[in-house]
Amino acid sequence: MDEVESPSLTEGQFVDDESLDDDEDWEDWCEDGNDVEEVLCLFCSEKFHSVEKLIHHLKEYHNFNLETVANRYGFDVYGRIKLINYIRLTHPLPNFWENISDSIPWESENFLKPVISDDLLLRYVIDMEDTFESGAIDADMEVVNHFTGYRKQDRIRTEAYMNFILNNPALFRDKIVLDVGCGTGILSMFAAKAGCRHVYAIDQSDIINYARDIVMENQLENKITLIKGKVEDVKLPIEKVDVIISEWMGYCLLFESMLDSVIFAREKWLTVDGQVYPNSCSLNAVAINDKIMHDKSIEFWDNVYGFKMSCLKSTVLDDADIAVVKSETIISDICCLKILDVSSVKVDELNFQCPISLKINQAGCITALVVYFDTFFSKTESFSTGPCAPATHWGQTIFHLRDRLNVEKGEQIFGQFSCMKNKENHRNLNVNIVLESSINKNTFKLQQVYYLR
């Protein structure tokens, strides 16, 4: 790569995208405000352009402090997610939590499912969890020694990135790095520690304000420039980058993922011989037999702490579920549905249809199809979100079958898996699954449509 000239910006400064072009008007930049994300209050109809403003509003107008409630019950990130979704679904009064004495009404795994698509408050909770929850930190990570740690589930992915970057300094030394969706800036700091020349880190959410403080606290402001804005809209002070890093993966790999933005950045800024990390992902499926989960997911709504909510059964069946599956419930071999080469994949390839082939290795019944992904940085560096691997915050995506399917050991199940972006909200997914078999008396053909929203 040719020598890159030093940018005219002061290195390490925090940049709002509009500051890169003094002539660019805010209203023009966000197209009359249509691209500005909003977050809905938990207890009223007011909307805010940042989670921080929402939190202030909750305290001032509703006398509700999310952290106070979370700390009272010792919630981790999953507890916070359940609490938020419970409030959005049931619409309690702000002081509801003060009157709970016994069982917590939002304990069910069903409340892990977002009530509002792309809820900024949920994204904020997950982003903050990456930084501030308790757990051990590798002693070699002095660039983040002010953190109290990571929860075990989130250490899997973070340490995979850390190990790859720090164990392969030759890939980063003296390189210009772009961090897409930088969050708290942890990947940028790993790259800085690996010896890169400079990192440009982009994020459109308010979490970048914390990233700025974190970068300065670790005295990396001369190595990392933070830019607030959408990847598709920002202007970098340089023409090309050598490396793109990003933690873009979503549930079921592509739900609410940032892969579109990574592809955009790759096409616009990456040098011809540049690299994207992680460089590939595989989407995999297994069949499970978990009658307890199947019963709870469907029958639960007949008695929700004394109240009938049976109308929500169809929603449970239509919507894919997110949970950690017990490995002992797997009754089939693994079927690889799709492999994405991040260095070359095109946006239109993210809508796809592929065959399903599952060999049953244990007699019983199929209650759900479980989909997960594996992420690869190199031939030796990877991590899995599968049921047989240590749990991550992604869990697995569970497609509950309407009816249990009886199967025999050795039986081969065929079908199709179709994954399409929702036309109204491209961050959501429409999934169509067809399963069929014709062995002995177990002849069946099942077709079911699911939504990740």
Q: Catalogue the active-site residues.
A: 247, 256
With both helix axes pointing from N to C terminus, report the angle between 207-217 and 120-132 in degrees, rounded to the nearest 10: 20
Q: Are 330 and 279 in contact (CB under 8 A)?
A: no
What phi-psi label fits residue 379: left (phi over 0), alpha (psi between -120 and 50 degrees) or beta?
A: alpha
Number of CB atoms found within 10 A of residue 326's CB: 12
Within 8 A by CB and 6+ apart from 379, the residues are none
Structure tokens at 297: 């997911």
Residue-level length of the chain: 453
Which neighbouring-strand residues pair with 353? Answer: 418
Cα distances (Å, whole numbers) of residue 91 to 41, 45, 69, 83, 282: 11, 11, 16, 11, 39
State whether residue 295 is helix, strand or coil: helix
Question: H or E stretch including 197?
Answer: none
Cα distances (Å, whole numbers) of residue 43 to 35, 64, 72: 24, 10, 20
Q: Are 434 and 444 in contact (CB under 8 A)?
A: no
Distance CA 188, CA 138 (A): 17
Closest listed residue to residue 244, CA positions, set 279, 207, 204: 279
Q: Are 436 and 445 in contact (CB under 8 A)?
A: yes
Please report which residue ranges of 238-319 form alpha helices under DSSP H.
259-269, 291-299, 313-318
